[in-house]
Structure 1
Amino acid sequence: MSELTYVERAARVKLMIFDVDGVLTDGSLHYGADGEALKTFNVQDGLGIKLIQEAGIQTAIISARTSPQVIKRAADLGISHLHQGGHDKLTPFNALLEKTGLTAEQVGFIGDDVVDLPILSRVGFAVAVPNGRKEVLERAHHTTAAHGGRGAVREVCELVLHAQGLYERVMAQFLV
């Protein structure tokens, strides 16, 4: 049996999970005068998430850091599966599989750092951003052209839509 291509893997995705720092953001932390860490999110990435949701693909965030900005961003985008805090990302991943009834092969994950490896090594569609750590890049099925926080999420969302033959359907609302 031959190894699946990354497009074939993307075609099986029913749940796409996103890391935050270095994926949904560029990984930079800006501190305000009161010491609060601020994050910057890409609007086009957000629309990509909304488009895959419209196509019936579930979305989730699993992040090692805890941030009120991530709670707000997840709420704004309608991401109902959110786990923050702790370098153990595998426990919330396994709980998410149990909750959704999906298998790991039906899940995509996009990450950038070594704390993402336990999930990346289990999912059916493992994606890295080009500015990710070497160990992540070596284990990914696909690496985006765009960097984290700079369109990588939008790119992977559109890839999944194309792979599943859903891109034209979700884009029809804009191409009138």
Structure 2
Amino acid sequence: MMTYPEELLNKAKKIKLVITDVDGVLTDGKVHLDQKDNELKAFNIKDGLGIKWLLNAAIPVAIITGRASNVVTRRMQELGVTEVYQKQPDKRACFQMLLQKYQINCEEVAYLGDDLPDLALINQCGLGVTVADGHWSLKESSHWITPNKGGDGAFRDLAELILSAQQQLESILQGYQS
């Protein structure tokens, strides 16, 4: 199992809500359009499993993204994510609404982003995280940088950190051994 700095584990222990961007985090940031203008995105199955682990551990996952996409709606429905907020150019208002809805404070939120529209939330959250290929300014501001790139298991990295800090990861992993 991966080892983490004590300060990082202390932040992750407090997390009660995980918020993530989509493009560049759950995907590699590329948008493919076919000849009929259908949008295609690739999601990593490892990230999907990380989302399910958090939901099963009673840690809600929310999506706040600047773009609107039917592909995102469909994938989040498959995973059981109900907090999906698309076409949100200013993510801060949505963030404040989620704090009120879950009656939590900023210290109890983890945010995973990759680019400048995510910077304000990374700075506000108790656990601000960027992906390995995130913008340099996010890397300077984040509490942690995932080992994996966006669309390549970065969300799973964050899920494992949080579940490890909250003493739940080991039992999840043992469930796959029997």
For the aligned pair, the TM-score class normalised by the smaller chain equals over 0.9
Aligned to 2:3: none
Question: Are 2:125 and 1:126 aligned?
Answer: no
User: How far apart, CA to CA, are the structure 2 residues paired with 1:81 and 1:169?
Assistant: 26
Unaligned 5+ segments in structure 2 are: 1-5
> What amino acid is the match of 1:149?
G
5 Å-filtered alignment, 1:22-33, equals 22-33=24-35
> What amino acid is the match of 1:173?
G
Give the alignment's TM-score, normalised by structure 1: 0.95
Give the alignment's TM-score, normalised by structure 2: 0.94
Work out whether residues 39 and 71 of structure 2, in 8 Å CA contact, stay in contact via their aligned partners in 1.
no
Work out whether residues 120 and 126 of structure 1, in 8 Å CA contact, stay in contact via their aligned partners in 2.
yes
User: How far apart, CA to CA, are the structure 1 residues paired with 2:79 and 2:19?
Assistant: 13
Q: For residues 38-62 of structure 1, what are the alpha-carbon distances to aligned partners after superposition, in whole Å with 9 as ceiling and x for unaligned?
A: 1110011100110111111111100
TM-superposed CA distance for 1:7, in Å, is: 1.7
5 Å-filtered alignment, 1:13-52, equals 13-52=15-54
Amino-acid identity (%): 39
TM-superposed CA distance for 1:86, in Å, is: 3.0
> What amino acid is the match of 2:175?
Q
What is the RMSD of the two structures over their aligned residues, measured on CA atoms? 1.1
Aligned to 1:161: 163
User: How far apart, CA to CA, are the structure 1 residues paired with 2:23 and 2:91?
Assistant: 14
5 Å-filtered alignment, 1:21-170, equals 21-170=23-172
